[in-house]
Amino acid sequence: MTSLAVLAPHTTDRVGRAIYTAPVARRPTLITVAIANLLATSDDNGIRAQLRATKEAGVVVGFLVTLAIAYRRLDRDEFITQLEWAELGDMDERTAQRYWRRFRHAFPTEQSPERLARWIASQLSDTEPMAAASVLAPADLALAA
């Protein structure tokens, strides 16, 4: 049980008395889910594995954000292909394939990056594009078993 001494007042009532509430469970961010999935498949659970998983998760979520931005800029119903993304990113197709492979490793329950990239695109703000780094994961995104 959480001690009230640890909790900060959530709000005050009409008389000005503090009202304490229990912390609300929040959905994890995409990067949190990716780190957890990468650590779940790692043989090592030490600091090096945590550092590698964090770095790789950042790369994968960055990849998803670039897909989301490209998808929004193309402004069409069908999703961006691997080849189109490679051309937009000025890279060869093999490099694009490596990004797709890294995605599958970080999000093994997803068939392709399309759903999560569309989710990010729906959460992106034209005025604050950097907010994409803290996009919450969709409620139905499963952690790897």
So what's the pLDDT on residue 98? 96
Share of the chain above pLDDT 70, in %: 73
Q: What is the mean pLDDT of residues 96-108?
A: 95
State which of 1-15, 80-94, 124-138 shows the largest mean pLDDT: 80-94
Domain spans, the chain = 28-134
For residue 2, name the pLDDT band (cuts at 50, 70, 90). very low
So what's the pLDDT on residue 5? 40
- pLDDT digit string, tens, across residues 19-77: 555 555 677 889 999 999 999 988 887 899 999 999 999 999 999 999 998 888 888 88
Reported pTM: 0.73
* Alpha carbons 68 and 70: distance in angstroms, whole number: 5
